[in-house]
């Protein structure tokens, strides 16, 4: 099963964030971060030493919403793939999906809330994810010492 290593979940619903975090962690994602809005997501991305492979993004949030975050990601030339989620009408979600693609972002598609786990897995598992090797400091030091 191929799953992204580093995932950022941006959703104002704490239950949705927790469920999605558990899904990604249980399917082999090494690092799963969560943010309650776009501003917090930007803060996480700026502090992150490594880029995210996937950003799961709710479109409707207070303060800095998903559409605003899409514009910001475009200005940064972010390479992460996007998966849009929303309870908004399907037509609005599809327009946001097109906006992300026109902006040059790699949008995998969109899911209507409530999210059906099977649909999420189909989209994510259908991708080829680059698996980066992560080396712990302990291993690195041991290998330098010839241990």
Residue 139 has pLDDT above 80, yes or no: no
**Higher model confidence: residue 33 or residue 135?**
33
Share of the chain above pLDDT 90, in %: 76
**Higher model confidence: residue 58 or residue 131?**
58
Instruction: Mention the CATH class of domain 6-144.
Output: alpha beta
Dump pLDDT digits (tens) for 13-36. 999 999 999 999 999 999 999 999
**Mean pLDDT score of the chain:** 88
Q: What is the 3-state secondary structure (H, E, C) of the chain?
A: CCCCCEEEEECCCHHHHHHHHHHHHHCCCCEEEEECCHHHHHHHHHHCCCCCCEEEEECCCCCCCHHHHHHHHHHHCCCCEEEEEECCCHHHHHHHHHHHHHCCCEEEEEEECCCCHHHHHHHHHCCCCCCCCCCCHHHHHHHHCCC
Residue 79 has pLDDT above 70, yes or no: yes
Per-domain residue ranges for the chain? 6-144
């Amino acid at each position: 099963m191929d799953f992204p290593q580093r995932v950022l979940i941006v959703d104002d619903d704490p239950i949705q964030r927790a469920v999605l975090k558990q899904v990604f962690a249980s399917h082999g994602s090494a690092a799963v971060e969560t943010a309650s809005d776009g501003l917090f997501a930007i803060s996480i991305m700026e502090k992150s030493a490594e880029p995210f492979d996937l950003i799961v993004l709710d479109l409707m949030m207070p303060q800095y919403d998903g559409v605003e975050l899409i514009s910001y990601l475009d200005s940064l030339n972010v390479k992460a793939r996007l998966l849009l989620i929303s309870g908004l009408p399907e037509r609005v979600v599809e327009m946001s999906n097109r906006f992300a693609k026109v902006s040059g972002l790699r949008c995998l598609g969109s899911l209507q809330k409530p999210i059906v786990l099977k649909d999420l897995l189909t989209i994510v598992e259908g991708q080829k994810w680059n698996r980066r090797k992560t080396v712990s400091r302990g291993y690195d030091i041991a290998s330098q010492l010839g241990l």
